[in-house]
Structure 1
């Protein structure tokens, strides 16, 4: 589970952390919060069998090593919403990935290599980055350390939800039904993640409350084909008295397909990158 959590976080952090966080200046609204295709037939069962299936799904998925991945993140606050969508390929163990991300009518090329995110920005955004270089980079390990390596980074990045499996218990796992995801028959489970069972529980509960809902769709081999998690995030910095929204809702939908696909991203030349680790939050504030 640890490997898949790391891989999902690294592979998706660009869309979650860099594009969707622009909700305060987003234009318009997108009310579509559902997944791609797939009709679900209703059923209601769960218990110990369902809990075991969901918990082992992370290991079984990571054992496939690589996959195609699509990502959709919708961030809403103060009556506005921003949507980021991405597609590409990911190494499920170490998080190396290549992805094309679209948000706000613009597209970004992203690569993740050795836990460092590289994004090639559109010309309009590039002019706002020091050095006017085509690529920016963010070192995920350094960024986590600057945020005290703790729960706030886990919450601000919903793709880290693989680690939430530790908070799933028998009493809050339910089999919702079946659905076809990208042509594959799946079983859908709805779980409630108990924050008290996760590390950094106190901080997590302050930001998202005592529980978080999560849905997973598993194929007949027990692998994750789709995962959706929705969080209402409350700010913890009470020193900020600005008129910025005091709460945002983030819904992230991830889908996996084509297990075993080739993933070999390369870091851009150092001379074409600007290191933005620890600077993005300050520029957004």
Structure 2
């Protein structure tokens, strides 16, 4: 059971860490003849405005080596700020490779709070974790110590990487498209992964490198409606369903939690059975 559980956690963590670790890109309307420098300045301004929202409800999909090439989806709320980064999302158990822990093809609840990920599953029936219904993994085991420290400071949210936009090597106007019923303007930019600011360690922890190619769809209010990112063999797509709003993310009761951090570290080091 240990090996199967860890495989699922790796897949589940990959998508939530990947979404948090890469950037969400918003851009202003690009008029004909507008210079790349002007667009980059506008991008930087909009990034600050998006970050001020403090929270965002998103739907995201990630696929790449970290997920075994399978598209893994999640939906929920991220919040950030002085209280640090927190989130509560749901994922299909099949996507998280955790169907053996959730009956009837249900979903897995994923929480990030106080620097740890928690995965809500059906109560484990036997073994050393019998009765436990939450699996815990410390964020540092996934994104490294620097990444975890950044998360504690409220960094690594879906908009944090926007600060890297000032390093965009090129920008391009793609066209006008409809996204989730909204009229949007589609832009594209490329940013060196090493210039992703406080979130740079997160892509590294997932084995990502090279340039981040970003496609962004802006709604009529100038807010990002959709973001597609490609870094090497990894792709991440995020739909921003709304900005703002509050939700308290609770730490599960200690009696219900099985801490899997040490086992996951062993697996990452190639020591797990």
Q: Structure 1 residues 170, 176: CA separation in 2 closer, same or farther (over 3 Å shift)? A: same
Asked if 2 retains the 8 angstrom alpha-carbon contact of 1:214 and 1:228, the reply is yes
Deviations 1:159-215 (CA, angstroms, capped at 9, x unpaired):
8784264265464111212222222222222111124545679x96xx545422122
Q: Which runs of at least 4 in structure 1 moved beyond 3 Å after TM superposition?
A: 15-18, 43-46, 126-130, 158-162, 167-171, 195-201, 207-210
Does residue 70 (structure 1) correspond to residue 59 (structure 2)? The answer is yes
Deviates more, 1:266-275 or 1:222-231: 222-231
State the distance in 2 between where 1:98 and 1:209 align.
28
Q: Which residue is equivalent to 1:192?
A: 190
TM-score w.r.t. length of structure 1: 0.62
Q: Structure 1 residues 44, 161: CA separation in 2 closer, same or farther (over 3 Å shift)? A: farther
Question: Of 229, 243, 260, which aligns to 1:259?
Answer: 243
Deviations 1:118-143 (CA, angstroms, capped at 9, x unpaired):
111356xx569852311011222x43
Does residue 139 (structure 1) correspond to residue 131 (structure 2)? The answer is no
State the distance in 2 between where 1:82 and 1:44 align.
41
TM-score w.r.t. length of structure 2: 0.65
Q: Which residue is equivalent to 2:76?
A: 88
Asked if 2 retains the 8 angstrom alpha-carbon contact of 1:168 and 1:194, the reply is no
Give the 3-state SS of the residue equivalent to 1:81 in structure 2. coil
Deviations 1:195-236 (CA, angstroms, capped at 9, x unpaired):
4545679x96xx54542212222234432222221222xxxx
State the distance in 1 between where 2:165 and 2:39 align.
14
Q: Which residue is equivalent to 1:121?
A: 121
State the distance in 1 between where 2:145 and 2:110 align.
25
Q: Which residue is equivalent to 1:217?
A: 217
Q: Structure 1 residues 129, 220: CA separation in 2 closer, same or farther (over 3 Å shift)? A: farther
Give the 3-state SS of the residue equivalent to 1:279 in structure 2. helix
Question: Of 248, 266, 270, which aligns to 1:282?
Answer: 266
Asked if 2 retains the 8 angstrom alpha-carbon contact of 1:54 and 1:216, the reply is no
Q: Which residue is equivalent to 1:241?
A: none
Deviations 1:218-274 (CA, angstroms, capped at 9, x unpaired):
234432222221222xxxxxxxxxxxxxxxx22111121232333122111011111
Q: Structure 1 residues 170, 159: CA separation in 2 closer, same or farther (over 3 Å shift)? A: closer
- Structure 1, gaps ≥5 residues long: 1-14, 23-42, 233-248
Q: Structure 1 residues 77, 113: CA separation in 2 closer, same or farther (over 3 Å shift)? A: closer
State the distance in 1 between where 2:55 and 2:177 align.
23
What is the deviation of 1:150?
6.4
- Structure 2, gaps ≥5 residues long: 1-7, 16-31, 98-104
Q: Which residue is equivalent to 1:250?
A: 234
